[in-house]
Amino acid sequence: MRRWIRGVTGALALAGALVPGGLPAAAAAGGDGCAPELKVLPTTESPSWNDGVNDFGPDGLAVGRAGNLPAYWTGSQLHRVPVPATAYLGGIEAVNGRGLMVGQVNLSGVHGSVPFTYRAGDAAITPIEVPTTAQSPTAVDVNDHGEVLLQDLLSTGRSYVVRDGHLLRTITTPLDLNSTTATALDNAGTVVGDGEAPGGSGFDASSVGMVWPAKDKGTLTLGPAVPTEFGNARWTVRDIDEHGRVVGGVLRYGERLGHRPAYWDAPYQAAATMVDGPPSHEGHGTFEAISRTTGLVAGTAEFQDNAQGIQVPAQAQAWPGTGAALTLPRLAAAHPSYGLAASDNGSIGGKAEDATGVTHPVIWTCAFQQGALP
């Protein structure tokens, strides 16, 4: 539940008027008085390819990276998070509906990253007290209760849910999997992620989507495990909304490498539903984030090359919950862009490269109005 924004229009707040598949009609239209725009946000004097908008918070707050360090924006104003002077890498990964941000920072002379919380205007970040069994945890999500999801890839994929220095839950790997990666949690406490199946490692391994229901009610595997039409495949899970919709996709290995976006709905008894991507990328791409309640999904249309062996630059895409995903305008022709965050007010956040090759944090306002099916 990483993609939340407060202050949506009254039309968006209505429980009815849903477009089939999820997105409210008002959100699909962009809301009353919505002005579609590819908004380029300021960054630092030393921009990085990693710079971008990772999440939306209340009252126009956007969070992410600028100059490869933690940053946030209010409107069009950049705010650098006050990290220690020895910091050389980091970012804000998520923010909840109350403005609590979580992220991590790497410090010279300190092994691993330091996960932290932060609120706009604070004089300093607050390091998160991590479990003693954690080796190098990173903060990847936070819900409205202040529960932080810590991902620890060095401990064979063990993850944790913590709050105010207290360990609330340990997310463990089922016995039939090699490792797991937790990626998001919702307000109910449900955690989602993916797990590596036995029989291989790295690029040779297959993986499955995972759900760890709230209140430690075991684990669920999101099917299918490895569909025959994809051969050796890795399923990845990226986010969950407040209705329980899980978004992610599958990475197919073989003669031609490609992603396909997909989603699962509670109670997760059915196999993944595949979503068609733009024809410009032969239907391939990823889903990275879903808005809190409206079903708007952010992702990227990307493919290693098309059937003629021609590379097609990645392009941010939006999916309203039905039909095909639509590409969003590029900042410069033939230069890549990426969709990383989705908000209830119809905006998509991410990053885009300009004609000189510099990457900028960006927001596509009224994103669905800007969508195209090339």
Distance between CA atoms of residues 111 and 128, nearest Å? 15
- In-domain check, residue 290: no
Q: C-alpha 253: how far from its chain's center? A: 23
- Domain extent, residue 110, equals 1-8+40-145+159-164
> How many domains is the chain built from?
1
Could you tell me what percent of the chain has a pLDDT over 90? 61
How big is the CA angle at 154 (ends 234 and 192), to the nearest 5 degrees?
45
- What pLDDT is recorded for position 336? 96
Q: What is the mean pLDDT of residues 259-283?
A: 87
| Reported confidence tier of residue 304, pLDDT bands at 50, 70, 90 | low
Instruction: Output the pTM of the full model.
Output: 0.89
User: Residue 205: what pLDDT?
Assistant: 60
In-domain check, residue 221: no
8-12, 75-79, 167-171: least confident range: 8-12
Amino acid 115: pLDDT: 96
Classify residue 103: in a domain, yes or no: yes
- Quickly state the pLDDT bin for 247 (edges 50, 70, 90): very high
Q: What pLDDT is stored for residue 129 in this prediction?
A: 94
Q: How is residue 139 written in tokens?
A: 């903060």
Residues of 330-345 as b/e, b for ≥16 C-beta within 10 angstroms?
bbeeebbbbbbbbbbb
Type of residue at 326: L
Q: What is the mean pLDDT of the chain?
A: 85
Q: Is residue 245 part of a domain?
A: no
- Contact (Cβ atoms closer than 8 angstroms) between residue 263 and residue 247: yes
Rounded CA-CA distance 235/272 in Å is: 10
> Has residue 24 got a pLDDT over 50?
no
Length of the chain: 374
Q: Is residue 122 part of a domain?
A: yes
Q: Write down the residue that tokens 């992603």 correspond to.
A: 259
Cα end-to-end distance, the chain, whole Å: 30
187-230 per-position pLDDT tens digit: 999 999 988 877 655 545 678 899 999 987 788 888 765 444 55
Tokens of 161: 């849910």
Residue 31 confidence (pLDDT) above 80 = no
